[in-house]
Amino acid sequence: MIVTDPIPFWTEPRAITEWGQQCQPTIAPAWLDYINFQLHPDQFTVFYRIIFPAFVVAHGMTLLDVKANGFSEQILLEFSKNSPSLELFEQDFNTFKVYDLFPHAEVADEKSFEIAAHLLKRSWEITLATMFPGKTFEVIMSNTDKDYGPTVTFFQRR
């Protein structure tokens, strides 16, 4: 038997494992039961809006709808003209900070944010490839001191 996993780097988060160890009887692995006991379907579906985002395509640019929403096509074009290239504009504009998604999270393990960023990167790679089969995108996950925690962005290779 062969297991094929689109996210082979994923492991059950420590907090979820610890939750399962506190259950009677102990649950291991705990992640599926955690979803069953702790999450509402609305939480699940709203979370998928960031996993599988909508995109705005304008003037050759591909942008995250959640970030472009509220800007006119003309304003986006003007913004892009201030950048040395469309690639740099897309990369800057599409930057998504994982900390901003969870500003109130009390996370004991900083690795949780980094794994979330890796998962987001992988899902955007799959989504962009599916939505734009004739185009090539670079999806970047970064976690440096100047990033304010893990970030994910993308741009179209031209």
Domain-embedded: residue 144:
yes
C-beta contacts of 101-110 below 8 A and 24+ residues apart: 101/50, 107/15, 108/14, 108/15, 109/13, 109/14, 109/15
Predicted pLDDT at 148:
83
83-118: b (≥16 Cβ within 10 Å) or e: eeebeebbbebbbbbbbeeeeeeeeeeeebbebbbb
Give the total number of structural domains in the chain. Answer: 2
pTM exceeds 0.85, yes or no: yes
Predicted pLDDT at 112:
86
Strand 151-157 relative to strand 96-97, pairing: antiparallel
Residue-range definition of the domain harbouring residue 71: 51-157
63/129 same-domain check: yes
Is 63 in contact with 91 (CB distance < 8 Å)?
Answer: no
Angle at alpha carbon of residue 115, lines to 45 and 56, rounded to 5°:
50
Predicted pLDDT at 108:
63
69/91 same-domain check: yes
17/56 same-domain check: no
89-138: pLDDT as tens digits: 999 999 999 998 888 777 767 888 899 999 999 999 999 999 999 999 99
109/33 same-domain check: no
37-72: pLDDT as tens digits: 999 999 989 989 999 999 999 999 999 999 999 999
Predicted pLDDT at 111:
86
63/33 same-domain check: no
Integer-rounded Cα Rg, in Å, for the chain is 18
65/9 same-domain check: no
> For residue 58, with 0-12 CB atoms within 10 Å meaning exposed, 13-18 middle and 19 or more buried, which class applies?
middle
70/26 same-domain check: no
33/74 same-domain check: no
